[in-house]
């Protein structure tokens, strides 16, 4: 690993750290250390980081703002690449916007609403970055990323940068091709529509207010834990099973919204996993419905 760190620092890729606690980089405030933690300063630094990691056969994964992510207490073997400053550029050209993978999604929705552009109102209150939103086809209020994305620039493991179209990203409910073929969304192009600025801002604010009033953002959380097992809704099933408020260690099923698990006091990943498994078993026994997680679970157990 020493040789890898030297190569990364010599290439001046950005911020490089050893044994960085990922609890500092997830919205749940949970997670053990990454063996190697890289925050590239720009796309060139990201590509060079990938080249060094690939040449040294170091496993890696990318994160954005750390929502929708549960990192195991044992941390992550290899490298974690965080998309942040330097990968957050924004260009607005008429009704088309081009935005970096590290750009915060809520901020993007707010900025473009002021431009009188419609299409991202659904993202009001969705935590995370643009890159993460493309990765998981983030959505709410009847819409999602696949409805507005035209193409995305993807960095693959071998250092190849390639533009993929909406169709090539193979979007479905909370899923994209990037979940099966390893790659990082470094840039996305969205096609929006011109609309009434005040109407757009009101719709965006309504969605933000709905989340603030119905979801427990007063505690560290990752967002929705389970996918909706359509035609059912995960939160409703969990509430019907009487699991609201159920707690294991420092992790608790929210009293406000049953599809949220909150960190009420120094929760460990093992506490959250135990709650997830308890929910799965209880819901299957009560309703014969298989629950699947929306949150991505990674790292050494």
Q: Known catalytic residues?
A: 174, 224, 294
Asked if residues 176 and 165 have their Cβ atoms less than 8 Å apart, the reply is no
Is the CB of residue 251 less than 8 Å from the CB of residue 269? no
Q: Determine contact, residues 36/58, Cβ cutoff 8 Å.
A: yes
């Amino acid at each position: 690993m020493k040789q890898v760190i030297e190569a990364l620092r010599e290439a001046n890729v950005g911020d490089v750290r050893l044994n960085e606690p990922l609890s500092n980089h997830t919205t749940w405030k949970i997670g053990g250390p990454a063996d190697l933690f890289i925050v590239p300063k720009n796309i060139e630094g990201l590509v060079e980081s990938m080249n060094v990691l690939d040449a040294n056969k170091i496993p890696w994964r990318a994160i954005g703002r750390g929502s929708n992510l549960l990192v195991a207490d044992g941390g992550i073997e290899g490298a974690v690449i965080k998309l942040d400053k330097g990968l957050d550029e924004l260009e607005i050209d008429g009704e088309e916007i081009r935005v970096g993978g590290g750009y915060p999604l809520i901020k993007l929705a707010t900025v473009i609403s002021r431009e009188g552009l419609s299409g991202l109102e659904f993202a009001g209150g969705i935590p995370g970055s643009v890159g993460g939103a493309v990765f998981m086809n983030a959505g709410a209020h009847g819409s999602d990323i696949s409805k507005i994305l035209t193409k995305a620039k993807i960095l693959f493991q071998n250092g190849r940068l390639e533009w993929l179209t909406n169709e090539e990203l193979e979007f479905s409910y909370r899923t994209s091709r990037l979940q099966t073929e390893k790659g990082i969304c470094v840039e996305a192009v969205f096609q929006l529509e011109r609309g009434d600025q005040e109407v757009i801002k009101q719709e965006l604010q309504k969605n933000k207010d709905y989340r603030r009033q119905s979801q427990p953002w007063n505690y560290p959380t990752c967002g929705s834990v389970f996918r909706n097992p359509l035609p059912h809704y995960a939160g409703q099933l969990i509430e019907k099973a009487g699991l609201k408020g159920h707690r294991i260690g420092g992790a608790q099923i929210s009293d406000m919204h049953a599809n949220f698990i909150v960190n009420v006091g120094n929760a460990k990943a093992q506490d959250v996993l135990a709650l997830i498994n308890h929910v799965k078993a209880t819901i299957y026994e009560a309703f014969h419905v298989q629950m699947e997680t929306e949150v991505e679970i990674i790292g050494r157990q």
